[in-house]
Structures are given as C-alpha cells and as structure tokens.
C-alpha cells in the first residue's frame, strides 16, 4: 500500500490551509474606511429629492447616488426629556399615512419633529436629543461627536456648507453648545478651539448675496464668524490659530483644481473659507441644462463672488487628502431646507441641483484619487421640510397656496408628477415647517452594508411611494455606520 501522507503532514497542511484562509478572512474583516464623506441635504425628504431630480433629469432615480448599493429610509424624530430609547417607538409604522396632522406634529408623545440641531447631533453622535442642542444630550451632557473621534485617531476633519458655518448642521458636525442660537460662541469654538482642517461656508460680515454691505465696520454682523475680534484677526490671513483664510470665489476654484495628481506643494494645513454671503450662498450652479436660467436670476457680481458647493467640496477634498491617515468630510446643501420653509419649489430645485452636482464631483474625485475600498460615502438628510406632495393633495379653497385643515380639503398624499428637464414639477406644500416623513439614506463604499444590519422597521407605503425596500434606520444610526465602517473607537 502506497503511503501518500503521514498524519503529521496532513495535519500541517490542514493547519497551513486554515491559517491562510483565516488570514484572508481577517484581512477582509480588518479592511476599514480611511475616508468618510457625509452629504446632508438639509430639509430634503424623499419628495424634495424627487423634485430636484425631475428638475435636473426629468426622470426619477437618475441621480448618481440613486445607484448606490445601500438604499434605505431614515426616521428623524427627536427626543424630549422623557424619551427612553429602549422603550419608545419613535416612528410607528403606518401612523404617518393617516393624514397631514400626524405627519406634521408628533407620531409619539416623547418624539416630536426634529430641528437640524438635534438631527445633526444624532447623525454625528448617535444620540437622539431635543431640538436646539448642538452635541449635547437631552439631559445636558456634552457628547463626543464623530469629528472628535477622528481628531483622536489623527485623521483630518472638514466641514462644508452653503449656509453659515455656525448654523445648526455644520455646528452639530463640529462644535458643542447647549443652544444652536449661540452663533458667536459656536463659531468661536470652531475657529479658536477645534482642530478642524477645513471650514467652508457663509456668514461673511461684509457681503451679502455677493455684494458689499454698505455699513460702517462697527455696524456689521460678525456673530456667525466668531465675533468682530476673531473675524478681524483671522481674515487678515496672517496665520491666526494656524488658519489660511480665503473669501474670493477664485480662491475656492483654484483649490478645487489642486487635485492630488497635480502634486500641489502649496496646500494649506488648515483653511477657513467664508463665501461672500452673510446668509445663504446663492445656488449659482443650480440650473438644470441651461446656464442662462441662473444668469437671468442672479447678478453678474453675485455669480463672480459666490463659490459653488462643488468648488468648495473639491477644494476641501484636496486639502484633506494630504493626511495619509484619512479624513471625515461633512458637506451640507443647507438651503434646500430654507427654500422648502418658504414653500418655494423652484428655489428648492435649484438648491438641490447645486447639492447633487457636488455629490457627482465627490464621486468622481473618490474614483480618481481614492477608491470605494478606502472610502464610504453617505447621502442623507436631517429631516423633511414642507410636507411636499404632488398637485391635487388638497383643495386650496382660499387659493393662498397654504394648507389650512379648517378651510381646505385634504384629498390624499398625491405622488409627484414627472416634469421635463429644467421644468419645476407642480407640488403642494402642506406645511412650512419640518415633518416626520422618512428621509432618504444612500451609501456606497467600504462598510456601507453595515447600515442594512441596523434596520429598525419597514414602511410598506413608503416603499410603494418612493421605490425602495421600505426598510428604515434612525438618523442616529448614521453615526454608528460611520464609526463601524471607519473602525474608529
Ligand atoms: Zn428647517
């Protein structure tokens, strides 16, 4: 009888095989996202996303991020001091479809509709809190946010927005304050105390809508950028707290071109960029297919002076990519919310186009200069604004464009009808405030599938309405996805 292997050989071979299989498995398991990119469309519910998509493409599901492999809903309710995360069911499935009253007010006693501060805190800390809080729990404890975790790991953090840098969402991404209205304190923390690498947004004291404000320096509004003293120090651009300072569109655009393959040698270590707007920056690239649309709408001066969200996003990515350990970048389309508060579908579409173009640019950047193996990208929202539905949702008896449950007749939650590219679809706003509707959550890249394991429930009606599985997570789970995907502790 021919002896092939002695037992010792077989055992060694088996051990070797299983060891290499084990190595492969752990290597796979150990692979974590070096870079985390979070896009937040403020006030962008599913129908707001659809409205913007019809404007830009004339068909549903046409955005680059609509092709991401992970597609869920996210429940955004916030928490009162009586909210118990173990007991409360903040999004009882089905209740929202009962009518406009449920959608606009509360679905559960201890879980009212959220504001951007509470939702930004949930997205960045994993903790549901009460409205108005920036990185603080409902019982008043300072919370560690995802940016803090990144600093500790030696990674870089960037915050980019089209609204003031100290507004709720960028504030909740970076700072900590018991009250979102403390703009000066928040921006002082951002500029003086936080190890941020990139901070881009609005709040310029001397300009509005791209035009110089005709007031004496002592009469200008400095609250969004740290107060007068901090502003005057940092805007001199002579290295205050290590910051490079820019405020001209040209400078943002230059930075956007300094991609890693151009081997830039003069990228700043820290950069504060304040667009020339005291309030929201204009969506000067919000047109669908015809640039003349925005040229007629905004002054040449405003266009020359306002950076686009795409320019800011690419500039931020180029600066952050200097850190080999990786980065966390939050980009907010901040004024979609404001357009929806104003029941202005056209402005909402413009803001959305500007937001979705920045996402496209970031996707392209990741594919050229990083990879989906190294990067996770999430596109979501902090809450729905406006209870936007299709034409025919209610009979507007007094024709004032507003829904009054006492005077107007509610018909049904009508689906949005498709429009041609560059045409704004007809919609009806049931409210001028925030609501409880699920918002979209899209994810792609390293660790994106973790979100599927965190699903809290399924809303079948939402599934039919918006063409996804109906599975939803909570906004606070977004933090858990980012943390697990990045492997940071
Ligand atoms: Zn709002």
pLDDT tens sequence across 347-372: 999 999 999 999 999 999 999 999 99
On the question of pLDDT at 113 being above 50, the answer is yes
Domain coverage including residue 224: 37-486
CA of 116 to the centre of ligand 1 (A): 6
d(CA 327, CA 325): 7
- Domain presence at residue 7: no
- For ligand 1, the distance from its centroid to the CA atom of residue 113, given in whole angstroms, is 11
- The number of distinct structural domains making up the chain is 1
pLDDT band at 2 (very low <50, low <70, confident <90, very high): very low
**Is residue 211 packed enough to be buried (19+ CB in 10 Å), middle (13-18) or exposed (0-12)?**
middle
pLDDT of residue 103: 86
Tell me, what's the pLDDT at 23?
A: 54
In a domain, 119, yes or no: yes
What is the model's pLDDT at position 4? Answer: 43
Q: Is residue 23 part of a domain?
A: no
- Report yes or no: 146 and 480 within 8 Å, Cβ to Cβ: no
Condensed to tens digits (0 to 9), the pLDDT of residues 164-182 reads 999 999 999 999 999 999 9
Q: For residue 472, tell me if it sits in a domain.
A: yes
Instruction: State residue 28's pLDDT score.
Output: 52
Residue 5 confidence (pLDDT): 43
Tell whether the model's pLDDT for residue 292 goes beyond 60.
yes
CA dist 368 and 383 (Å) reads 32
Q: How far is the CA of 53 from the centre of ligand 1 (A)?
A: 21
Determine the distance separating the centroid of ligand 1 and the alpha carbon of 164, expressed in angstroms: 14
Residue of 231, 214, 213 whose CA lies nearest to 222:
231
Reply yes or no on whether the pLDDT at 8 is more than 50. Answer: no
Residue 153 CA: distances (Å) to CA of 129, 150, 156, 157: 26, 5, 9, 11
Sequence-distant (≥ 6) Cβ neighbours of residue 16 within 8 angstroms: none
Q: How far is the CA of 20 from the centre of ligand 1 (A)?
A: 53
Instruction: Quote the pLDDT of residue 1.
Output: 40
Q: Is residue 17 part of a domain?
A: no
Average pLDDT value for residue range 76-99: 89
Model's pTM, two decimal places? 0.94
The pLDDT-based confidence of 101 (bands split at 50, 70, 90) is confident
pLDDT, residue 26, reads 55
Distance CA 430, CA 135 (A): 31
pLDDT greater at residue 380 or residue 105: 380
| Confidence at 433, pLDDT banded by 50, 70, 90 | very high
DSSP at 417: P
Whether 412 contacts 103, CB under 8 Å: no
Distance 336 CA to ligand 1 centre (A): 9
Under the banding of pLDDT at 50, 70 and 90, the label for residue 42 is: very high
Residue 487, burial from CB neighbour count under 10 angstroms (0-12, 13-18, 19+): middle
Determine how many CB atoms are found less than 10 A away from the CB of residue 411: 12
Give the pLDDT score at 461.
97
Q: What's the gap between Cα 401 and its chain centre?
A: 29
Q: Coil, strand, or helix at residue 334?
A: coil
Say if residue 338's pLDDT is above 60: yes
338 alpha carbon – ligand 1 mean position (Å):
6
Listed residue (132, 85, 135) closest to 110, CA to CA: 85
Residue 340 alpha carbon to ligand 1 centre in Å:
8
pLDDT tens profile 239-281: 999 999 999 999 999 999 999 999 999 999 999 999 999 999 9
What is the reported pLDDT for 81? 84
pLDDT (mean) for 390-405:
91
pLDDT band at residue 24 under the 50/70/90 scheme: low
Region of 154 on the Ramachandran plot (φ > 0 left; ψ -120 to 50 alpha; else beta)? left
Question: Helices in 65-108 by DSSP H: which ranges?
Answer: 100-104
Q: Do the beta carbons of residue 144 and residue 125 sit within 8 Å?
A: yes
Q: Which of 350, 359, 363 is nearest to 331 (CA)?
A: 359
Residues 21-31, mean pLDDT to the nearest whole number:
58
Residue 95 lies in a domain: yes
What residues contact residue 304 under an 8 Å CB cut-off, 6+ apart?
Answer: 210, 249
Distance of CA 202 from the midpoint of ligand 1 (Å) = 17
Instruction: Identify the band that residue 108 occupies on the pLDDT scale cut at 50, 70 and 90.
Output: confident
- Strand ranges, E, within 189-315: 198-202, 207-208, 211-212, 244-246, 271-274
- Cα–ligand 1 centroid distance for 134 (angstroms): 15
Q: How sure is the predictor about 41, in pLDDT bands with cuts at 50, 70 and 90?
A: very high
Q: What is the pLDDT of residue 7?
A: 45
Tokens standing for residue 182:
């403390």
What's the alpha-carbon Rg for the chain, to the nearest Å? 24
Task: pLDDT band for 401, please (50, 70, 90 cuts).
Answer: confident
The average confidence (pLDDT) of the chain is 93
Strand-pair category, 439-445 with 375-381? antiparallel
Q: Between 13 and 307, name the one with better pLDDT.
A: 307
CA distance 130 to 180: 11
Calculate mean pLDDT across residues 188-216: 97
Please state, as a whole number, how many other Cβ atoms lie within 10 Å of the Cβ of residue 51: 29
Residue 383 Cα to ligand 1 midpoint, Å, equals 8
Give the residue among 76, 116, 150 at the shortest CA–CA distance from 341. Answer: 116
**From start to end of 314-429, where are the E strands?**
327-333, 375-381, 384-385, 388-390, 394-395, 409-410, 427-429
Look at residue 20 and tell me if it is in a domain: no
Please report whether residue 16 resides in a domain. Answer: no
Unique residue bearing structure tokens 């509610």: 410
Distance separating alpha carbons of residues 328 and 40, to the nearest angstrom? 13
> 348 with 336: CB under 8 angstroms?
yes
The alpha carbon of 354 and the centre of ligand 1 are apart by a number of angstroms equal to 18
SS3 256: helix
CATH at 384: 3.40.720.10
Residue whose tokens read 């990879």: 371
């Amino acid at each position: 009888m021919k002896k092939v292997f002695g037992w010792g050989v077989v055992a060694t071979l088996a051990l070797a095989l299983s060891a290499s299989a084990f190595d492969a498995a752990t290597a796979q398991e150990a692979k974590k996202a070096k870079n985390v990119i979070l896009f937040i469309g403020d006030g962008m519910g599913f129908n707001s996303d659809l409205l913007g998509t019809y404007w830009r493409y004339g068909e549903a599901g046409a955005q680059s991020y609509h092709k991401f492999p992970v597609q869920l809903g996210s429940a955004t309710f916030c928490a009162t001091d009586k909210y118990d995360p173990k007991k409360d069911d903040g999004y009882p499935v089905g209740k929202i479809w009962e009518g406009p009253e449920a959608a606009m007010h509360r679905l559960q006693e201890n879980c009212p509709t959220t504001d951007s501060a509470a939702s930004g805190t949930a997205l960045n800390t994993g903790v549901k809190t009460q409205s108005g809080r920036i990185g603080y729990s409902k019982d008043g404890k300072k919370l560690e946010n995802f940016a803090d975790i990144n600093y500790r790991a030696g990674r870089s953090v960037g915050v980019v927005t089209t609204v003031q840098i100290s507004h709720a969402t960028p504030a909740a991404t970076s700072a900590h304050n018991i009250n979102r209205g403390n703009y000066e304190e928040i921006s002082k923390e951002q500029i003086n105390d936080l190890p941020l690498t990139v901070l881009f947004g609005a709040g310029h004291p001397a300009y509005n809508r791209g035009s110089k404000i005709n007031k004496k320096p002592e009469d200008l509004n400095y609250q969004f950028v740290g107060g007068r003293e901090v502003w005057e120090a940092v805007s001199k651009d002579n290295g205050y707290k290590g910051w490079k300072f820019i405020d001209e569109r040209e400078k943002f655009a230059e930075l956007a071109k300094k991609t890693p393959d151009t081997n830039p040698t003069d990228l700043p270590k820290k950069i504060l960029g304040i667009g020339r707007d005291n309030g929201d920056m204009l969506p000067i690239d919000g047109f669908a297919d015809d640039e003349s649309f925005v040229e007629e709408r905004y002054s040449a001066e405003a266009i020359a002076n306002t950076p686009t969200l795409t320019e800011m996003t690419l500039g931020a990515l180029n600066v952050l990519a200097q850190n080999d350990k990786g980065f966390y970048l939050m980009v907010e389309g901040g004024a979609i919310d404001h357009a929806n508060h104003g029941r202005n579908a056209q402005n909402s579409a413009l803001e959305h186009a500007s937001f979705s173009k920045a996402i496209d640019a970031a996707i392209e950047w990741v594919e050229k200069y990083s990879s989906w193996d190294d990067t996770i990208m999430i596109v979501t929202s902090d809450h729905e604004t406006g209870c936007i539905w299709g034409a025919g949702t209610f009979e507007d008896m007094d024709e004032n464009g507003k829904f009054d449950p006492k005077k107007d007749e509610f018909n049904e939650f009508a689906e949005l009808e498709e429009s041609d590219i560059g045409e704004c679809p007809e919609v009806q706003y049931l409210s001028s405030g925030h609501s409880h509707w699920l918002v979209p959550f899209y994810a792609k890249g390293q660790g994106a599938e973790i979100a599927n394991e965190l699903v809290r429930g399924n809303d079948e009606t939402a599934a039919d309405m918006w063409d996804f599985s109906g599975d939803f997570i909570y906004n606070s789970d977004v933090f858990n996805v980012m943390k697990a995907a990045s492997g940071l502790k």
